[in-house]
Each structure stands twice: as C-alpha cells, then as structure tokens.
Amino acid sequence: MSDDDMKAELERLRRENEALKKGSSEGARMKVSEKGGVSVYGMGRFPVTLYKEQWLKLLNMSEEIRAFIAENEARLKAHGPARIFRGYCETSVTTLETGRELTVGSLISLSSC
C-alpha cells in the first residue's frame, strides 16, 4: 500500500469516525438485531437488546424507574467514565457482591466504547 493510499484510508476512517460520533446520542446507537430485537450500543461493553414490547414496557415505566433511582441514590453505584487509548478501553466498575471497584479493560475498534 502506497503512502497516498494509506493517507486516503486514514482520512476515510476519520470521516467515518466523525459521522458515527455525530449520529449518536451521547455515544449510543441502535440497530435491529439478527433476531428482530432492538440493540442499543454504547452503554457498556455489550449491547442492551430487548424486543419491541419490552422496550415499550420500559419506556412506559420511565417515571417509576427515575423515582426508584432517586429513592435509592445512596445505595446505587455509578459506572465510571471510560478511558480510551490506542484501541483499548478501560473503565471502573463496582461489584455489587463485594462492593470492590475493579478496572475492566478490553481491546476495541476505534469507534467502540
């Protein structure tokens, strides 16, 4: 691959990355799964996938969920912000069983995490 080809490919990938960032809401994006569910990417390491009626049920419960979170704020753990560097994503999570904070990392593509 020549230098010009590599530069063109790099520029194409940069444009694609920017388009992915602009098209998403706070880094989240959706697609229809192979089995016909709605998959939301960008919430964690794996997508959150539910069928249409499950998403609608959750959306109808949004006020109850917000109230529950507010009532239990002191007991709930927050997922730490993700750090990305050279194709590697690292974030802190707190386990519910032990209450210990763990650092979790994984190799990613540049458009993930």
Kindly state whether residues 104 and 70 are assigned to the same domain. no
Task: For residue 4, tell me if it sits in a domain.
Answer: no
The two tokens of residue 21 are 């960032």
pLDDT digit string, tens, across residues 4-43? 988 888 888 888 787 766 655 567 889 999 999 999 988 8
Q: Which of 31, 53, 52, 33 is nearest to 42 (CA)?
A: 31
Residue 86 sits in the same domain as residue 113: yes
What does pTM read for this prediction?
0.48
Query: Torsion-angle region of residue 27: left (phi > 0), alpha (psi -120 to 50) or beta?
Result: left
Shared domain check, 105 and 66: no
In a domain, 8, yes or no: no
